[in-house]
């Protein structure tokens, strides 16, 4: 690892899929044939942003898009959307 890379740590990786209605993303991600993934347990996301803010981690509206999440061992899976008008502007960054 070079000097320029020494400060980087990967905490997560992900795949972006276009929403196509019910079952969106199923089969698009390698190794996933069902959504939510087989054996994954639901994670409560209601109140998550309020809880994070109480701990000093405040997120603006563009970063409050988690709609559902699941855990399977050490893996986390989530459905995340760009809320409101932010979604309409997303194409500018693609």
How many degrees, rounded to 5, is the angle at CA 81 between CA 68 and CA 64?
Answer: 80
Averaged pLDDT for residues 19-28: 51
Record the pTM. 0.68
What average pLDDT does the structure give for the chain? 81
Kindly report, residue by residue over 60-91, the tens digit of the pLDDT: 888 899 999 999 999 999 988 888 778 788 77
How many degrees, rounded to 5, is the angle at CA 38 between CA 36 and CA 41?
Answer: 70
pLDDT value at 50 more than 90: yes
Q: Where are the chain's structural domains?
A: 23-93
How many degrees, rounded to 5, is the angle at CA 46 between CA 17 and CA 78?
Answer: 20
């Amino acid at each position: 690892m070079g000097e320029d890379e020494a400060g980087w740590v990967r905490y997560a990786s992900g795949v972006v899929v276009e929403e196509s209605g019910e079952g969106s993303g199923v089969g698009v991600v390698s190794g996933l044939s069902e959504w939510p993934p087989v054996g994954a347990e639901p994670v409560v996301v209601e109140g998550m942003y309020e809880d994070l803010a109480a701990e000093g981690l405040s997120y603006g509206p563009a970063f409050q898009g988690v709609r559902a999440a699941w855990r399977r061992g050490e893996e986390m899976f989530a459905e995340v959307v760009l809320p409101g008008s932010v979604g309409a502007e997303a194409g500018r960054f693609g």
